[in-house]
Chains A and B, each alone.
Chain A
Amino acid sequence: MSHTQQSNSGNWLDANGGVFIAGIGLHPYQFPTETPYTELGLTAVRAALADSGLAWDRVQSAHVGTTSIGMAAGRVMLRHLGSTGLAVTQVENASASGSFAFRQACMEVATGMSNVVLAVGVDKHGDGRRAANKDGLERLSETATIPAAKFAMMARTYLRERGASVEEMANAAVKNHGNAARNPFAQFRKPRTLEQVLASPRVVGDLTVQQCCPRGEGAAAVMVVSGNAIRHLGLDARRCVRVKASVAGSERPEMQYGDSAVELVRTSAQAAFDQAGIAPKELDLLELHDAFSVEELLYSEAIGVCEPGEGARYLARGDSQIGGRCAINASGGLIGMGHPLGPTGIGQLAEITRQLRGEADGRQHPNARWGMAHMIGLGSVSVAHVLSASA
């Protein structure tokens, strides 16, 4: 059994009465400001507490996803809510930092170690220092560890092999900017036409600025609780969203040129579907890592909401629009909502929770029952979560 595979029988997330998201909160993603990270993070945490109906002194543990703030940010921030003595753990895993903080919270609740856990992502725009540049190894090209160059080459290969056009790829950005325009927490709030996306300055290869995610700052928080806690604490079960799968993995050697990241997405998503006991086409919502437009096409195929080779046509048919077969990046995704790193993965989970509750005013996907949040991080690591609406 691979590291990413999970058995469908005896789902560990069913222990302790199940694992649920009881509350969500965000600080809007934004371009860099002088606002301290504490203010960003506390805004999100206070909103999540209020949304769940939980008091701060009920929270037994906190997992803080961040990349660029520095050591031990959690306690420095959370003490302003009250020094309750809760356990605080900082999690860093590049773009997936928040997603992994959430996974840690899920594991802690499922084991019964805790019943009420905070997962929060908070970040400021950092200097982008990467471990890959400190491994003591030289590289032939100074851009070898820059994702934009890697994904621009993946885009070239994708377009050539699929017979797709640059315009078809750019339409992923058009859709996601449009969704973000309806999301009050998004960094970009303007719908963009295809002409605007294509006419924006070129960055690498066929990727223009508006096909690349912005960096910035922000915060997102979720309250993770056990099913037993929902009953004992009298929380509103109808607004609790259940976590049905949590899967993590890392990259393997590529079988053919350029397929290692896509294979990582494919295997982690498939393992998550197996754990949740659903098929990919049962998804109503999918939030994925669209740091660059081509990723949405690649990963919609890899995750299986459409057939291999069909990503561009799936988008063109409107199947990934809000109201389509599976709304992809209804939040606006990384391209539109933004990508502050630490919060990004938790922001995905907050969006799916909001949608599954039927509370996504102005961008609600109808009859949403199942959602997946899928994130990858430099390195490369992956993490997939499947959420289901309350029964």
Chain B
Amino acid sequence: MKPLQPTLYELADDGHSLNFFFAQCSACGGLSFPANAPGCMHCGEPLSQATRITRPGGGELLEFVTLHVPLLPGMAAPSIAGDIRIAPGIVEEGVMAVADESALKHGMAVRAVAEVKPEEGVYACRFVPVNEGAAQ
């Protein structure tokens, strides 16, 4: 099974959680995501000399909404998108693997887990509340 987005994450040792890849800038020390970005998102320094950092994927859920219709061809709907602060100064939109919005609260901690897509032979990144057990 391969990651759907191999430059962003890998499966953690528990076989379910995801680790994210960051680049740590050699000039300012700031983290950038994704790690293959062509410049530091904080100071603009080329990241060719950056250190690759692997961290457990997750962060703080800042906002979330339900996508009631497919905004892109083939997209599942309804689904829930959330803005998550995955590191200081880095906010990324992610897909929430919960049944509905009632499972979510602003400011809650979420973690990245693998959602297996067996027909495609890949796993995708989904976010669940930290205290929730298995991925959906």
On A, residues with C-beta under 8 Å from B are 136-144, 146, 148-150, 152-153, 156-157, 160, 201-206, 253-254, 257-258
Contacts and interface: CB of A to CB of B under 8 A. Distances in A.
Interface of B: 5-8, 34, 36-37, 41-42, 62-69, 71-72, 75, 81, 83, 85, 89, 91-95, 106, 125
A146 B65 CA distance: 13
Contacts of B68: 201-204
Contacts of A201: 68-69
A204 B89 contact: no
Contacts of B66: 204-205
A144 to B, nearest CB: 4
Contacts of A148: 71
A143 B34 CA distance: 16
A141 B71 contact: no
Contacts of A157: 63
Contact of A143 (B5, B62, B81): B81
A138 B69 CA distance: 23
Given A149-B81, A153-B63, A156-B63, A140 B71 contact: no
B72 A137 contact: no
Contacts of A202: 68-69
Given A141-B95, A149-B81, A257 B62 contact: yes
B23 to A, nearest CB: 12
Given A137-B37, A149-B93, A253-B89, A204 B63 contact: no
Contacts of B75: 142-143
Q: Which of B42, B72, B83, B95 has the most CB of A within 10 A?
A: B83
Contacts of B62: 257-258
A143 B93 contact: yes
20 contacts: A139-B5, A140-B8, A140-B92, A140-B94, A141-B81, A141-B95, A142-B75, A143-B67, A143-B72, A143-B75, A144-B92, A149-B93, A152-B65, A153-B64, A203-B68, A204-B65, A204-B66, A204-B68, A205-B66, A254-B91
A140 B93 contact: yes
Given A153-B83, A257-B91, A140 B125 contact: yes
Nearest to A140: B94
A137 B34 contact: yes
Contact of A146 (B8, B36, B42, B72): B72
Contacts of A153: 63-65, 81, 83
Given A143-B93, A204-B69, A205-B65, 9 more contacts: A136-B36, A137-B7, A139-B5, A140-B5, A140-B125, A142-B72, A150-B93, A153-B63, A204-B68
B34 A257 contact: no
A201 to B, nearest CB: 7
Contacts of B36: 136-137
A60 B15 CA distance: 67
Given A149-B93, A257-B83, A138 B7 contact: yes
A205 B7 CA distance: 30
A138 B34 contact: yes
Contacts of A144: 92-93
Contacts of A254: 91
A160 B67 CA distance: 19
B115 to A, nearest CB: 12
Contacts of B91: 254, 257
